[in-house]
Homo-oligomer: A and B are copies of this chain.
Amino acid sequence: MIQKTMDLSLGKVKIKIGNKTLMEDPVFFAGPCSVENLDTMRKIACDLKEMGVDVLRGGAFKPRTSPYAFQGLKDEGLEILSIIKKEFDMVISTEILDLRDIEKAADIVDIIQIGSRNMYNYVLLEEVGKLGKPVILKRGFSATVNEWINAAEYILNIGNDQVILCERGIRTFETTTRNTLDLNSVAYLDRNCRLPVIVDPSHGTGVRELVKPMALAGIMAGADGLLIETHVDPDSACSDSQQTINMDTLREIMKNTSEIWRLT
């Protein structure tokens, strides 16, 4: 048997998202933590579309520490995303947790997200990868960069190289912030890996007022895009409220990103 090995020096992977190409243009993924109801999603989609956000994201299936916590609207959430997709003609991204949900998601979702808890779930990675659609692979919150790249290789190995790495903070001893956003990893990947990398400053900080500075810091570190939890009324968001920003803040981040983009 010939032992295949990773070759990080291969050409940069080009992934086209809507009108932009990751690594060439800054790409924005925004939306609520959870899909809540059709009405709220309409308001959010309307604003994001108008602002020029590239991808609408929202969770239908929510992995939660406790089995007794809200687990997402599940199939109903997918249906809401389906309606929004048609009404607003937006690129849609959502997280998949269960092999058995892949098929039904395939018709609705343009970009599949693998969450931080599932980065080591290689079975799921392979099955999701087989769809041939772009996959956002969030870093496991305690994964080394080496493990993260190897997890991506599980998808590449089945013939899908549309992998978008997403730094979302790691678990450390620090408790002032929810996680420690590791922008070193972004700067490292930008120079040593052929896959695009985006930053999620919402989970990376867990604190609303830190989202903007850390989003921009992420861009300067070398990120190709940003994934940000955004809501028309953050205080009412049914999950991750304390780290969700409003539309005005997202607008500022997008404006500032365009100003610093040429420097990176």
A residues neighboring B (CB under 8 Å): 3-6, 63, 65-68, 97-100, 117-118, 120-123, 141-142, 144-147, 150, 153-154, 157, 170-177, 180-185, 187-188, 190-191, 204-205, 207, 209-210, 213-214, 216-222, 256, 259-260, 263-264
Distance, CA A260 to CA B146, complexed state (A) = 32
| Contact between chains at A175 and B144 (CB < 8 Å) | yes
Distance, CA A205 to CA B190, complexed state (A) = 14
Closest Cβ–Cβ distance, residue A226 to chain B (whole Å):
13
Among A117, A210, A264, residue most surrounded by chain B Cβ atoms (within 10 Å) = A210
Can you spell out 13 A-B residue pairs with CB atoms less than 8 angstroms apart?
Answer: A65-B147, A66-B153, A67-B153, A118-B121, A144-B173, A171-B173, A174-B182, A180-B184, A181-B183, A183-B183, A183-B217, A187-B210, A213-B221
Residue numbers in B under 8 Å from A188 (CB-CB): 176-177, 207, 210
A155's closest neighbor in chain B, by CB? B67
